[in-house]
Amino acid sequence: MPTAEREISRFQVFLQQQGLKLTSERSALLREIFETHYHFEADELLFRMKEKNVKISRATIYRTLELLVKSGLVRRVHLGEDHYHYEHVRRDSHHDHLICTTCGAVIEFHDPVLEARQLEICAKKRFTATFHNLQILGVCDACRRKGEQPDAPDRVKMIQVGALNLRK
Amino acid sequence: MPTAEREISRFQVFLQQQGLKLTSERSALLREIFETHYHFEADELLFRMKEKNVKISRATIYRTLELLVKSGLVRRVHLGEDHYHYEHVRRDSHHDHLICTTCGAVIEFHDPVLEARQLEICAKKRFTATFHNLQILGVCDACRRKGEQPDAPDRVKMIQVGALNLRK
DNA sequence: CTGCAATTGAGACTCTGTCTCAACTAGTGC
DNA sequence: GCACTAGTTGAGACAGAGTCTCAATTGCAG
């Protein structure tokens, strides 16, 4: 469903509020982001734009991503361990991530009970939360079935290999 | 309480299991880490070692930190937004972080209810969790009291400034 | 005490992300 | 519609975190 138009107009409103302009580069990027699913990285975006013969510089990508994060249309998430990852925000559907350290799979989930408890904790500490970020690292069902090595040294090696996989 | 000796021997056991060696550099680093409280960064460690006239290269610091993370003596955490932060693990006292985006303060907390719920979620998804990482971003009590600007444009600016502060 | 595998340091390298500045536009006001 | 100007762009230099290489060194098993 290539309906990035709604998001583009939301972005335009945001830009106008800040006295900024909607350029062709910005809308091209937004279109690319909202036509793709799930998570992406800044350099991946640069590559995809090049592939489509849309000329756009790295600086502009980073600058636009910053604006998109501020506008709330895109969210920065920590997935693997490395650098930033981004995900577009369709509605206000917040979710967290289970990350398989063996195959790198990312499973999204949303749990109202968890969210509510977090707010309770913040209230107790007189902390005004604006955002949170939860990753649970471990082994997904598929990977667990494949390799069932129980002893300690092997497990360490497995984590090592998993980390490498994560870095793509 | 400068009792890094217990951790050093735990590390040695780990190293031996892996067929690795305990060098003077490694124990010096471990001592430094366990004599300090709370969070630190790799380059900060490099600087502190230089200050103490303990010669140790950047490569060795990174290599040792990797081993320490694998051994479970040190944990990698995402604090601000940038790069890695580390914290030593005294016992198995896991905790999460509230991070003030205005002043950069880090408040640790631990909540068994939250942990239990996370395990329930993993069980439901047939995911075997080994570790998790939760940061709640927001404004701490002190910062909230200081600046009480309610209107929208200012809030955006505040978040912007907060992000800058975080980067030290 | 010896041999050798593991480790170290120095510095080159990579990668992500930021900054600069001259050239270029969006879009407001006329 | 046109001109003006503040905001934007691209190219590439730059910065900082982290990794890699390789020759020299060292821990430690035998």
What pLDDT, in 10s, does the model give residues A90-146? Answer: 765 678 889 887 777 888 899 999 999 999 999 999 999 988 888 888 889 988 887
Query: Which three-class secondary structure string do you get for B2-22?
Result: CCCHHHHHHHHHHHHHCCCCC
Q: What is the pLDDT of residue A108?
A: 87
Count of residues in chain A = 168
pLDDT of residue B162: 29
Pairing state of beta strands A106-109 and A96-100? antiparallel
Chain B residues whose beta carbon lies within 8 Å of the beta carbon of residue A66: none
Q: How many residues does chain B have?
A: 168
Q: What average pLDDT does range A137-163 have in this prediction?
A: 55
Q: Does A127 sit within 8 Å of B140, measured CB to CB?
A: yes
The whole-number pLDDT of residue A155 equals: 34
pLDDT at A150 exceeding the cut of 80: no
Q: What is the pLDDT of residue A162?
A: 29
For the segment B36-55, what is each residue's pLDDT rounded down to a tens digit? 767 899 999 999 999 899 99
**Runs of H (alpha helix) within A72-147:** 112-124, 141-146
3-state secondary structure of A52: coil
Mean pLDDT score, A62-90? 86
**Percentage, residues of chain A above pLDDT 70:** 82
Domain boundaries, chain A: 1-93, 94-168
CATH architecture of A1-93: Orthogonal Bundle (1.10)
Average pLDDT over every residue of B64-88:
86
Query: Chain A closest CA to B34's CA: distance in Å?
Result: 23
Task: State residue A100's pLDDT score.
Answer: 85
Strand C bases, protein C-beta under 7 A? 5-12, 15-20, 25-28
Contact: A98, B137; criterion CB under 8 Å: no
| CB distance A25 to A60 below 8 Å | yes
Choose among A76, A127, A153: nearest Cβ to B107. Answer: A127
Q: What does the angle CA A88 – CA A90 – CA A93 come to, to the nearest 5 degrees?
A: 100
Q: Does A16 touch chain B (CB under 8 A)?
A: no
Question: In the CATH hierarchy, which top-level class contains the domain B94-168?
Answer: alpha beta
Pairing of strands A39-40, A96-100: unpaired
CA distance A132 to chain B (A): 4
